Structure 1
Amino acid sequence: MRNNTPPQSPYRNLEEEIIEAEDGEVIYFDDEEQALAAGSDDEDADDANDAQYEEMNLEDIEGMLGQRIPERDDAKITFREHSSAVFSCHLHPTENIAVTGGEDDKAFVWNAETGEVISKIEGHKDTVISVAFSPDGNYLATGDMAGEIQVFKVAQNYKKVWEFSMGDMCWMKWHMAANVLLAGSEVGDIYVWRIPSGDCKILPGNGNRCETAELANDGKKLFVGYGDGCVKLWDIKNTSALVEVRPNEPISHSECVSGVSCDPERNLYMSGSEDGKIMLVSNSGPVAILDPEAGPVEVVAFCPDTELRVAASGTLRGQIAIWDIAKQSIRATCEHSESDNGVTTLKWLPDQTLVCGTILGNVIAFDGRSGTRKYELQGHGAEVYDMCYDRAKGLLLCASEDSTAKIFQINH
């Protein structure tokens, strides 16, 4: 599911239809000719279809559409310009502007209050899996699975100021304190560019997919997970690995690392893997293995509130666990009744609130101390792939498989 383009929809628009006549001659019709040729037969078919739809229940309709129909829509704004799954989203740090990227090979910049399109970003030839404004808001970066990266100047009406082709890309993100862009590749190399000059350094890979990464709080180190289960803590400036935990060691992963997180205050790092285990790592090496016993771990996240030393994990089987880091044990399991509602993404909000995007499209909030369910945001009909939160405005932006992005108002 992560960073993979979903299968093409079985529903497609045919530009022409091939019909074999009684004498064996092949006849081609375009859309307009088909409509004229069909005539009254189409009207009869429409009547029959209407009667059929009236007999269909909600489950039948959901099955036909390939997505769930939510009971309600809690979104403040729904953006519908994408023609297929939306994989990535971000909010401008100061302006009421959102950006989304999707399987339609496009990114859209739009007004976060009205949903009006501000700029349509084209030039990509594959699914746009990462979009992000720089921390100062001056630049917008968009990147696709094929490794085509574009950077635009926001104040110059999104004029392109830099681009690069890196080969298949897995992730892309801005440094939190400088106009430095980082991206991980299919062969494991990590590119670090200064924008807009394009000055580059590379953290070399070993042929295994660079699956996921997160910057340490000091901005000097990068914690990285790879497709073979390896994790590394990189010194960005010196392009050297401070820590490397190889697969199948006594404390290590044996399968693809799907999520990583960095403690906001201490030199401690967390990785979750498809092997169903969570590993804690320090600047000196691996510390411990935590086993949620709930299947493949999709995502992990340290709580940014340093007074509450906890972290969260989510699995594709639907377990959401709150971990006591000091005790290296589960503090609470979130009250999540739908066992088949797998977790796709996690984000910590103010007041120690944990929000979780799910396979069914719900966004569920929990108390990060007790695991108690606080509220649920409905509106999406399929997987939530990405979330971005604006603390000042209390806005949560979500991107989904259902071809929409939604903004929810959250008051804390």
Structure 2
Amino acid sequence: MSEEKDQQQNYQEQPENSEQQDEFIDINEVGEEVYEDDGNNQEPPQEDEEEDEDMEINEEPQEDHETLEIDMSNNSWTYFDKHEDSIFTIFAHPKLPMVLTGGGDNLGYLWTIHSQPPKFVGTIENHKESIISGGFTNDGKFLITADMEGLIQVFKSNKSGEKWNLFGELNEVDEILFVIVHPTLPFFAFGANDGSIWVYQIDESNKSLIQIMSGFAHTLECNGAIFIPSKDENDLTLVSISEDGTVINWNCFTGATNYKLQPHDDFKGVESPWVTISNYENLIAIGGRDGQLSIINNDTGKIVSSIKTLDNVEDVAELSIEALSWCKNKNINMLAVGLVSGDILLFDTQQWRLRKNLKVDDAITKLEFIDDTPLLVGSSMNGKIYKWDARTGDELFVGVGHNMGILDFTIVDNGKKLITAGDEGVSLVFVTE
């Protein structure tokens, strides 16, 4: 990682002993209003010209010498660089201007996103492998982190987010692939490489983590899942997908399957390794490693549409659907589909016809519509983050500054800020308006 750190010359330098000074920030600093950009964003410092001149040598270049060119462009507002390895996951606190980043250095960091430079809040430790997933509960009281060795830690907020204390931990499986948190209730689920899916409740009154369900109906990796929101407090529904081509709707309180879709019976013989899932109202979209897109009516368990997204690719790996996002504007019926090929396919969700095809020059890693607007944010392994108007396909913003790919991002301040998780171990904060 030392070489990658050396490449980040365009980032502003942190003040000396900043880690000691900012180990825990003041409660008023965490809880204050989110910073409003005044339009006078600082530009990243330019390289010192005299220093560059000192580094020049007068020897003749070797004919076989290869020059490594690094793009030093950077339009980020500020950055966070305490990680010493790739940052795999990032998620924002629902009420405070604060995020958690988790990385390949087995550490998680909490830090503020409304100050320049960010203020360090605290460290999540005791993970023995890369932190790859997690989330905050909807009320912001609890934080969940998960690593590749199957350890889950749950922390409770104290002093309005100034400090986080360990609430409980789990280690049920050999490897966790993802964690999802219920959108409104204190429940979370995680899927494992053995195909199992687990649901737990954070019971604040009893100060414990209570297992609600464990399901073992998938035969290969459980690659994703979603909670289905319900107005009935006695209804806790989860839909999970697997590498084995199955889709299961679970009643979490009983462990029973409401429906199970299988390759040969329900997908007409197509055995797609499902890797992504997203829902809007009663419709669920699932994406396969083979480029297959299927839409399911969750009320009936029936498949509404099946679409082969791409044909005639040189490498079958380019077919994999890595990102799905529904536009939640009632007047814009659209689903965005992102592939390893760099294609972003925008489908009409009434007729399931392709409206537009946006294209970038490397794999798409994540897509997300901003609230209920037609504005779509997407990240890529080319190290850039984009904002488009999905109605027209117009590119509204491009964030640059990473030397390697963007593995995750989060949207805050109604889309005014985008915060990235970089493969080189740096997180950038972009102001888009």
TM range, normalised to the smaller chain? 0.7 to 0.9
Q: Look up the match of 2:221.
A: 209
Q: 1:198 to 1:11 in 2, by over 3 A?
A: same
The 5 Å alignment of 1:19-98 reads 51=57, 60-62=67-69, 69-98=70-99
Per-residue deviation, 1:207: 3.1
Q: 1:61 to 1:271 in 2, by over 3 A?
A: same
3-state secondary structure, aligned to 2:68: helix
Contact 2:364 2:380 in 1 (8 A): yes
Q: 1:159-214 CA deviation, whole Å, 9 max, x = no partner?
A: 11111112210111211111212111111222111114211122412331110112
Identical aligned pairs, as a percentage? 23
Contact 2:92 2:98 in 1 (8 A): yes
Structure 2: unaligned runs, 5 residues or longer: 5-54, 312-318
Per-residue deviation, 1:119: 0.7
Amino acid of the structure 1 residue aligned with 2:381: I
Distance 1:122 1:102 in 2: 11
Is 1:369 the counterpart of 2:391 in the alignment?
Answer: yes
Q: What do you get for the CA RMSD once the two structures are aligned?
A: 2.7
Q: TM-score, normalised on structure 2?
A: 0.76
Distance 1:53 1:254 in 2: 61
Amino acid of the structure 2 residue aligned with 1:105: N
Contact 2:148 2:176 in 1 (8 A): yes
The 5 Å alignment of 1:153-302 reads 153-155=156-158, 157-167=163-173, 168-196=175-203, 197-205=208-216, 206-218=218-230, 220-249=236-265, 251=267, 253-263=270-280, 265=281, 267-283=282-298, 284=300, 285-293=302-310, 295-302=319-326
Q: 1:275 to 1:162 in 2, by over 3 A?
A: same
Total equivalences in the alignment: 356
Distance 2:199 2:83 in 1: 30
Q: Look up the match of 1:326.
A: 350
Contact 1:364 1:376 in 2 (8 A): yes
Amino acid of the structure 2 residue aligned with 1:343: I
Q: 1:350-382 CA deviation, whole Å, 9 max, x = no partner?
A: 431111110111112221223232221112222
Q: Look up the match of 1:131.
A: 134
Contact 2:276 2:324 in 1 (8 A): yes
Structure 1: unaligned runs, 5 residues or longer: 1-8, 13-48, 63-68
Q: TM-score, normalised on structure 1?
A: 0.80
Distance 1:77 1:355 in 2: 19
Q: 1:70 to 1:363 in 2, by over 3 A?
A: farther
Q: 1:343 pairs with 364, 369, 374, which one? A: 364
Contact 1:268 1:281 in 2 (8 A): yes
Contact 2:273 2:290 in 1 (8 A): yes
Distance 2:2 2:259 in 1: 46
Q: 1:370 to 1:11 in 2, by over 3 A?
A: closer
Distance 1:53 1:102 in 2: 42
Contact 1:91 1:397 in 2 (8 A): no
Q: 1:114-146 CA deviation, whole Å, 9 max, x = no partner?
A: 322211111000110013221111111111011
Per-residue deviation, 1:346: 0.5
Q: Look up the match of 2:379.
A: 357
Per-residue deviation, 1:389: 1.2
Contact 1:91 1:390 in 2 (8 A): yes
Distance 1:135 1:212 in 2: 20
Distance 1:52 1:180 in 2: 65
Q: Look up the match of 2:425.
A: 403
Amino acid of the structure 2 residue aligned with 1:304: K
Distance 2:95 2:71 in 1: 32
Contact 2:365 2:380 in 1 (8 A): yes
